[in-house]
Amino acid sequence: MNIYAMKRFLFKAFLGVLTVSGLGVGILLAPNQVEAYQNPSTPTGIFITVTYTEPMNVRGGPGTSYDILGQISPGDILSALGISPGREWVQVAYPGGPGGVGWVYASYVSISGGELRIVEPPPTQTPLVTSTFDPTLMAAFNVQPTQTRMPTFTPPPPLTIPTFTETGPVNTPKFPSGIFVISLGIIGSIGLLISFVLRKQ
């Protein structure tokens, strides 16, 4: 057996040992992995699971008048601590809330692991500064508009259409003006004729 064939044999033997060792370690760890997948990290005791199809709010108290502390997503699991007297809100362990608790709407979650105790709601938050208005100052700005008469419409006078009356015939001269012009023409012609005859003598 030459050196090249011996190296190939040793390499194959080494790969075989690694494969067998890997399979053995995998078989030993397989039950633990299956158990880890079958038992996800769920809170012990009573817990809630979000059944709402969208992210839902976690509030500081059992009502929409309380501040929103954060949101949880569909399928999230939280430890349940109690329920409101009307059984409409569930108190859960929430790190972002005051005292490490928050409240979620009961209709959007399913409760598992037992019966919840009734928890009295915390006092509602009041604003630090309440806005007040001075009635005297408000009266100064309450200006009532003075009532004025609405402008009245005066119709225009009726349109008068002038009427024309026919007058009598215009006084015309006794003789037509054309005869006077013709007469002057005849007299001129006679005078011209006389002056022509006298010139020839």
Write the pLDDT tens digit of every residue in 130-184. Answer: 556 666 766 767 766 666 666 677 777 887 777 767 665 555 555 566 777 787 8
Q: Which two tokens stand for residue 166?
A: 């026919």
Amino acid 72: pLDDT: 93
List 105's β-bridge partners, or say none. 89
Amino acid 168: pLDDT: 56
Amino acid 40: pLDDT: 44
Higher local confidence (pLDDT), 153 or 38: 153
Nearest-angstrom CA–CA distance, 160 and 53: 83
Looking up tokens 């408000």 gives: 138
Amino acid 1: pLDDT: 54
Amino acid 71: pLDDT: 93
| Residue 118 confidence (pLDDT) above 80 | yes
Q: Where residue 114 falls among pLDDT bands split at 50, 70, 90?
A: confident
Higher local confidence (pLDDT), 120 or 34: 120
Looking up tokens 């003075």 gives: 146
Q: Where residue 26 falls among pLDDT bands split at 50, 70, 90?
A: low
| Residue 73 confidence (pLDDT) above 50 | yes
Amino acid 48: pLDDT: 94
Give me the helices (H) in the chain, please: 3-38, 135-141, 177-200
| Residue 6 confidence (pLDDT) above 60 | yes
> Is this prediction's pTM over 0.95?
no
Q: Give me the CATH topology for the region 47-112.
A: SH3 type barrels. (2.30.30)
List 111's β-bridge partners, or say none. 48
| Residue 119 confidence (pLDDT) above 60 | yes
Nearest-angstrom CA–CA distance, 157 and 180: 55
Higher local confidence (pLDDT), 147 or 31: 147
Amino acid 36: pLDDT: 43
Of 176, 67, 185, the closest CA to residue 127 belongs to: 67
pLDDT mean across residues, the chain: 76
Amino acid 37: pLDDT: 44
| Residue 62 confidence (pLDDT) above 60 | yes
| Residue 99 confidence (pLDDT) above 80 | yes
